[in-house]
Structure formats: C-alpha cells, structure tokens
Amino acid sequence: MAGDEWSIVSYVQESGRKPVQEFLEGLDARTQARLIDSIRKLKTLNVNASEPLVRHLEGKVWELREISAGNAYRVL
C-alpha cells in the first residue's frame, strides 16, 4: 500500500511563508499532534478518506477536520 500513499506538500507563499505550518506550530501540543496524525491518515487513505476525517466543500476543495478541546480545526 505504501506505493498508493499521497505526498504531503506544504503550501509556500512567494514570500517564503508557510501559513499551514505556522498554523500548526501555533496550536497547543495535543491539538498539533492530533492534526498531524490526521494528515498522516489522509496521506495513507488518500481518495478512500471520508467523514469525519475529510469533508467535500465544493469542486476540488476538501477540508481536513479535527476536533480537539471542544474546537473544530480545519485545513483546506
């Protein structure tokens, strides 16, 4: 199955900023770990991923979802 895994590519702005990475680094340790684990699950599940891990928004836009400490976190 390893050959079927997606790659994780972090968005980088022209200025060099990495907003998703900055967002993750700004979270508490528990929430950060949960979101990173969810990203790893998505990498493995790829197109087989479904709710509650991911949710289709519109067109080609999907969100990765994680609930931690009563808050809902989403990464597009």
Q: Which contiguous run of DSSP H or E holds residue 39?
A: helix 29-45
Tally of CB atoms within 10 A around 29: 7
Q: Which contiguous run of DSSP H or E holds residue 75?
A: strand 71-75
Would the pTM of this model clear 0.75, i.e. be above it? yes
Indicate the domain borders of the chain. Answer: 10-75
The dihedral of CA 27, 31, 36, 38: what is its sign?
negative
| pLDDT tens for the chain, residues 1 to 76 | 445 788 888 889 999 999 999 999 999 999 999 999 999 998 899 888 999 999 989 988 889 999 888 899 998 8
